[in-house]
Chain A
């Protein structure tokens, strides 16, 4: 009990851009490198405001950091897979920016890997449609680039 009480008194308050205050334990906070360096710079009693992070993204990051402390390797893998599955593309993008800003190293590995899996071995047309990328090349420009890197288009799936 005593330990718990001291932990809560040590907890760090984070203020998101939409005005919500999160209280997190130092172990969680220290896994976000940006916050770690902010704690060192200020005294810990102050509320740290995060102008680039909203409540949803911060809650997701905390959810991840708390959840991945599962005991077995396979349980962590399962949790990570489910965590990524629950995110929509739009949420994924926002969260990636937040994770990049806060420097959460594990998510900075996991999330790009997930996005890379979505891109791997897909055709250009599929990727444009899937991610909503607008093709702003003229047909002749595109043909020229395709010719430049013709080697990259050997044996790509069409869907």
Chain B
């Protein structure tokens, strides 16, 4: 009995829409009824690299034949839909444009395909033209035909690659009244008014994603009452958005030598804010301070920030700080915060001292530090201050060290405070830099209850084990302090290849002896 074939066609199409393009196309070989079902499947995906493989270009004949086969296949499929007057829900064209000759041959084809799709009332149009030079301003580009502007049923338009939008879009009326999603990447605008003309015609637009486009340097958005999400990256110097409905805004600066202004102070319902490489000034913070009452997710990467910051985020849930410079001290009042992450690739003096006021016991902080010594001696006191200021029970840290200075005077006494971290994953990228004094200083500044490290980090394991077994010169006899190695509870090895992922308990002595070379897995040292 056939368990699937005589399901109603819309359901079969729905199932096919959830398959990768290969599997969806493959169904047409199953039986005659599946062939028919497939022939009306309204999601058309044409991916040239499925036909023409990278290696084919070394064999010119083969290459040309395969290309022709591909064009022929697209032509035939689209014509079939046109002749039978079938609607086309989605047309996705992913093409490679690598040289002049190919470009001049393929461009007229694309016009034809797009026109057929438009007549089939296409709702989703996704055109990606990969070229090796599509990051260059002056690469050969495909000019979107003005007929596209009359695709009334278009809901989503994605253009990526060697594509330009010409001046004809200034004189032609654009009828994108149903358009909700607009993704433009690497697209060249012949005139900056084209972009604004385009935007003002999209009355229903919800998502705008503008990535590394050429020919526009400013974005002004106003009067789009359904706008929810805006993502902008690239060389855009001025952004101004006035949309009460906006929920998510992301900006990423394309070039370090260009300064930008962002004005989003009227978007008072903003929930997600992500700024990458943006210069956050005091003035900007003051101008946008009222937005912080609605923000739930905040992400700041490579931003230049004021020295001191004092934030009140009543609704903030997630915050991510990555390599932001100049920030010295920050006080964050966020009672609902439950997830916080710091990612810093640093010399120690860049690490900000962040304190959370009113934070909940649910708060989990993850810290990823990549410490590079270079010309500086790493400041373990600063690291300790950083962890002390966080005052959180749920900190897990991943610290990797590289190129650190050999300084045997680093030893710090371990004071007898409760662990600052729940979990520390330690990684010395250069084996020969592992030393007792560095490990001791590091553990003094972090004081974790669990240390893990890669089993391949043999020297680190050796230093840990030897210290744990023999102890060293002790500091804890006289004063109210305690050395880190007194508290060891047990040592475990997790190693998928050797022990089937089972955890095996070792004591230090057997661990040192049993450790085979070149082995994947972690060693875990648990302290009381």
What's the Cα separation between A89 and B16 when bound, in Å?
17
Is the CB of B20 closer than 8 A to any CB of chain A? yes
Chain B CB within 10 Å, residue with most, of A108, A115, A121 = A115
In the complex where A97-B8, A133-B34, A137-B31 touch, is A152 in contact with B22 (Cβ < 8 A)?
yes
Choose one: B3, B19, B20, B51; the contact of A89 (CB below 8 Å): B3
Chain A nearest Cβ from B272, distance in angstroms: 19
Q: Are A119 and B15 in contact (CB under 8 A)?
A: yes
CB neighbours (8 Å) of A115 from chain B are: 4, 15
What's the Cα separation between A145 and B29 when bound, in Å?
7
Q: Are B25 and A149 in contact (CB under 8 A)?
A: yes
Is the CB of B330 closer than 8 A to any CB of chain A? no
CB neighbours (8 Å) of A90 from chain B are: 1, 3
CB neighbours (8 Å) of A151 from chain B are: 22, 25, 50-51
What's the Cα separation between A121 and B26 when bound, in Å?
10
Is the CB of A134 closer than 8 A to any CB of chain B? yes
In the complex where A96-B11, A97-B7, A134-B2 touch, is A119 in contact with B51 (Cβ < 8 A)?
no
Among A16-24, A37-45, A68-76, A123-131, which stretch is in contact with chain B? A123-131
What's the Cα separation between A97 and B25 when bound, in Å?
23
Q: Are A133 and B2 in contact (CB under 8 A)?
A: yes
Chain B nearest Cβ from A83, distance in angstroms: 18
Is the CB of A116 closer than 8 A to any CB of chain B? yes
Q: Are B7 and A127 in contact (CB under 8 A)?
A: no
For residue A143, which residue of chain B has the nearest CB? B29
CB neighbours (8 Å) of B11 from chain A are: 96-97, 100, 112
Chain B nearest Cβ from A55, distance in angstroms: 21
Q: Are B34 and A152 in contact (CB under 8 A)?
A: no
Q: Are A133 and B31 in contact (CB under 8 A)?
A: yes
Q: Are B25 and A152 in contact (CB under 8 A)?
A: yes
Contact with B along A133-159 (1 / 0, CB 8 A): 111110000100110110111101000
Q: Are A119 and B23 in contact (CB under 8 A)?
A: yes
For residue A99, which residue of chain B has the nearest CB? B11
Chain B nearest Cβ from A62, distance in angstroms: 20
Chain B CB within 10 Å, residue with most, of A113, A128, A133 = A133
Contact with A along B398-420 (1 / 0, CB 8 A): 00000000000000000000000
Q: Are A135 and B3 in contact (CB under 8 A)?
A: no
In the complex where A92-B3, A93-B7, A133-B2 touch, is A127 in contact with B30 (Cβ < 8 A)?
yes
Chain A nearest Cβ from B22, distance in angstroms: 5
Q: Are A116 and B19 in contact (CB under 8 A)?
A: yes
Is the CB of B136 closer than 8 A to any CB of chain A? no
CB neighbours (8 Å) of A120 from chain B are: 19-20, 23
Chain B nearest Cβ from A90, distance in angstroms: 6
CB neighbours (8 Å) of B19 from chain A are: 116, 119-120
Choose one: B1, B14, B50; the contact of A132 (CB below 8 Å): B1
What's the Cα separation between A137 and B36 when bound, in Å?
13
Is the CB of B108 closer than 8 A to any CB of chain A? no
Is the CB of B358 closer than 8 A to any CB of chain A? no
Chain A CB within 10 Å, residue with most, of B16, B18, B26, B28 = B26
Is the CB of B98 closer than 8 A to any CB of chain A? no
Besides A133-B31, A135-B30, 20 other A-B contacts (C-beta < 8 A): A90-B1, A97-B7, A113-B18, A115-B4, A115-B15, A116-B18, A116-B19, A119-B15, A124-B26, A124-B30, A128-B30, A132-B1, A136-B31, A149-B28, A151-B25, A152-B22, A152-B50, A153-B22, A154-B50, A156-B22
Which residues of A come within 8 Å of B, CB atoms?
89-90, 92-93, 96-97, 100, 108, 112-113, 115-116, 119-122, 124, 127-128, 131-137, 142, 145-146, 148-149, 151-154, 156
Q: Can you name 11 A-B pairs with beta carbons within 8 Å?
A: A90-B3, A100-B10, A112-B15, A119-B23, A136-B31, A137-B29, A149-B28, A151-B51, A152-B22, A152-B50, A156-B26
Which residues of B come within 8 Å of A, CB atoms?
1-5, 7-8, 10-11, 14-23, 25-32, 34-35, 50-51, 73
